[in-house]
Chain A
């Protein structure tokens, strides 16, 4: 069973360009979470999605950032008109469906995408 996959692993963009980060959850997982890790900091929650639904986007910047998790295909985190401050590692995690709490609290993390904005 493959783990959470993210691509690309490294992404370089110039200011003003768009960045698209992809996350394929573990097989059987229908919950996806995106986190951002700025240099020398812990991870910060951005958004929580289930298939075709955004459940909680309280950690997403109000502008330029969007996320989706379509019925088919990976989850996408999209950053429009990137700025230098967007340079960070972006991690995706997935968890299985079922009852909230208990063992379903465990999230399995991907290797991350390191975004560098020049």
Chain B
């Protein structure tokens, strides 16, 4: 079975400060891991993905995530938050090599203050 736990439901940062959104996963298989962002009343946009290549994954808009198998974590980071980063972020797992039923975390709402 696969599952994802996003450790914080809400994160608040000041503009220009680092962002850390935490995600732990559980998977019986070699997982693929993703971060998606959802802006209010919009669809989901893929930020980045890990599919068993490099453990440090760089995505769009300055975000990156590191796959740590020993910690079963895939935390999302950004060195400097921008106001436009305010959104809901979802950590997602699926099974590599199988068809693609995505398992979503509950989401982390990121607020960015001036």
Contacts and interface: CB of A to CB of B under 8 A. Distances in A.
> Do A and B make up one complex?
yes
Interface of A: 4, 31, 33, 35, 41-45, 48, 55-56, 59, 91, 93, 95, 100-112, 114
A105 B101 contact: no
Interface residues of B, number: 25
Contacts, number: 69
B61 interface: no
B51 A103 contact: yes
Interface in B70-114: 90, 94, 96-107
25 contacts: A35-B102, A35-B104, A41-B106, A42-B105, A42-B106, A42-B107, A48-B100, A48-B101, A56-B99, A59-B101, A91-B44, A93-B102, A95-B100, A100-B97, A100-B100, A101-B96, A101-B97, A105-B32, A105-B94, A105-B100, A106-B46, A109-B43, A109-B44, A110-B43, A112-B43
Main secondary structure of the interface of B (DSSP, over half): loop
Interface of B: 32, 34, 36, 41-46, 49, 51, 90, 94, 96-107
A115 to B, nearest CB: 14
B43 A111 contact: yes
A100 B43 contact: no
B104 A31 contact: no
Contacts of A59: 101
